[in-house]
Structures are given as structure tokens and as C-alpha cells.
Amino acid sequence: MGFRKKNKSPPVLSHEFVIQNHADMVSCVAMIILLGLMFEVTAKFAIMFITVQYNVTQSLDTDAEEKPEPVNYYKYGPKDIATVFFYLLIAIILHALIQEYILDKINRRLHLSKTKHSKFNESGQLATFYLFSFIWGCSILTNEEFVTNPTFLWEGYPHIHMAFQVKFFYICQIAYWFHALPELYFQKVRKEDIPRQLYYICLYIFHITGAYVLNLHRLGLVLLVPHYLIELLFHASRLFYFSDENKQKGFTLWALLFVITRLLTLTVSVLTFGFGLSRTDNQGFSLAEGNFNVLTVRMTCLSAICLTQAWMMWKFINFQLKKWREQSQIQASKKKAVSPKSRPSKKDSRGGSVNGVMKPDDKTSPRARKSKAS
């Protein structure tokens, strides 16, 4: 990892060298971009990486006597790629800091196995991101009043104008999930874990970028916030489980809320694409206006969401079945361990015998009887 002191330095530009010093190398690139602000020639290019682009000023009518107040909104465009790249670098640096100064110190105390060590690092990173994104998303929903007025999801579509917080939120989300791809190499993720992580990373990139490009950022924000809450609960429960295997109550609450969130996601999606957008006045397809309100696009988006929810439910059911089988095997092994202690001693089918030796009723030996008879 970056920021870590090693006694033996590997060869320069080798795989081990890049993995150990990737955060330092990325920090140098970010510093070069920031230094570009100091010179007039390069400032225009540096600003494109650092600040949010495509500012649009609109006047907000208040009263007839007062002058309209200017309000700044933002659109998306090709320059956003540079902004995403810069915050991708920031995400890599923060990832290395959290790993080095928080997760590695906890791992040394817990003494986890290699499998649990990898999952603990994954859950620690994701739990931190989900917590930050959930709080940020809730603040945006509260300020924009998306929740109090459900028709706000489709009224006035296309929603080409975004508030600064909304656009910056999407920039950071896309940058974080793109940064997760090189982190598979930097973190030396096991080969058997790479396909599983690639699936959900690509799904996040696909859905978040799709909502951003198709001007469905309102719907995307409403669906992301409860989903992040459920994921935060799962990874926090897994962290507590690794510290103490008896702490499993969080998984029960997660399982209940997971199903509710999937139903909520499907309901809001069907309501938006099936009823809201299909009945708006502005129907048509126009790249210049950012309007994608046609039947083909609506059904494609709805199908993508439904298929993703079905896939998640399938993974959830398999996870619960696997967990149920493990618990049943543990209970069966406990019963087998207790049963030999409760068994009575072996007795012969004949009465008055113990361990295959005849036990006389009068407590006298056969030799004594013979002496009396003589």
C-alpha cells in the first residue's frame, strides 16, 4: 500500500513497486494538476479538472418589485470526463489512507485469516463510502424536496439543469466506482473474488452513469439513497461479525430491509417510467435538448432496473439458503457431540447381566453354592 515504509524496496516500476507506492505516485499526479492553477497558461486546463463545468445562470423570480435573483445550475458535457479523472485520483489516495491508518491497524488486532482479511478490507472501505454517500444524499433530498413531491421525478423532464450539490454528487459517485477497478490490482484481490466484485462495480457504473447522461438524476438519487443504507447495514454487520461471530443480529435486520428496498425500487421505477414520463407533454428524442422520453428508452431503462433487482434477489436467496445450511450443519454436529454422553451403558438382552457377565440375584458366587450342596 501507499504511505507504507518497507525495509526492502522492490525494483523500480515492477509490479510490487507500483502496488506499494501507487498512492504516492497518484498524489504526484494530483499535485501537478493543482500546481497548474498557479500559472496563467495552464490555469484554464487545471480548472477543467478540479471545478465543476458547464455553469448556467438563471434568474429566479421572487416579487414583482424586487429584482430576480440569479441562480447557478449546471449541465453535463465532455469536460466532465476530466473532472471525473481528477476525483478518481483523490479516491485512490483516500482509499490508501483509510486502508493504512484504520483498517490495517484493526486487522493486526483481530488476527484474521486471509479470506476474512480480504473481506474485512472490502467491507471497511465500502462501509465508509456508503455512510458518506448516504448522509450526503439525504441532505440533497432534503434540500431539493424530492421526497415530499413524488411527481417531481418526472415533471418538467428533461431535467437538464442540476444544482451544484447534485452534479458534484454524481461526479464523485462515478469517480469512486471507476477507481474501484484499478484497486482490484492495487489491493491484490484474490482471483476467486475478482468476478464477484467486477459484477457490482460495473453495475454501479452502468446505472449511475446512465441516470446522469439520460437526465434522470432525480430518480437515480431517490433510488441510490435507500440502496446505500441497506449496503451500509450489510457491511457494518459483516465488520461486527468478523470481530465477534456471535454478533449476527444485524444480518436479520438487513435481510428484512433488503426485500423492502427491492420492492420500493421496483415501485418507484414503474411509477416513473410507466406512468409519469409516458404522460408528460414533452415526448420525443433529441440529443441537443437532452430529451430521451421515448418508449424504447423508457422500456430499456425499466428492464435494466428490473433485471438488476431480480439478479440481486437471486443472489440474496442463495446467500440465505447457504447461511441456513451452515446453521443446520452446526446444529447437527452439536447434537452428535451431545448424544454419546446421554446414552446408557450397554446391557445384554438377558436379565441380570452387566457387560456380558451374569449377575446372580442372591449376590452369591457359584463356588459358594457348590460347597453348601456338598
Which of the two residues, 37 and 7, has the higher pLDDT score?
37
> Is residue 169 pLDDT above 90, yes or no?
yes
Residue type, 273: F
Give exposure, 220-234, as e/b (b: 16+ Cβ within 10 Å).
bbbbbbbbbbbbbbb
**Mind listing the pLDDT tens digit for each residue in 229-242?**
999 999 999 999 88
Give exposure, 242-261, as e/b (b: 16+ Cβ within 10 Å).
beeeeeeebbeebbebbeeb
C-alpha cell of residue 302: 425499466
| 353: enclosing H helix or E strand | strand 353-354
**Mind listing the pLDDT tens digit for each residue in 48-88?**
999 999 998 887 655 555 666 788 899 999 999 999 999 99
For residue 374, what pLDDT band results from cuts at 50, 70 and 90?
Answer: very low
Distance (Å, rounded) from C-alpha 9 to C-alpha 95? 22
Task: Report yes or no on whether pTM surpasses 0.75.
Answer: yes
**Mind listing the pLDDT tens digit for each residue in 309-322?**
999 999 999 988 98
Which of the two residues, 52 and 339, has the higher pLDDT score?
52
Q: What is the average pLDDT score of the chain? A: 85
pLDDT of residue 341: 52
pLDDT of residue 348: 47
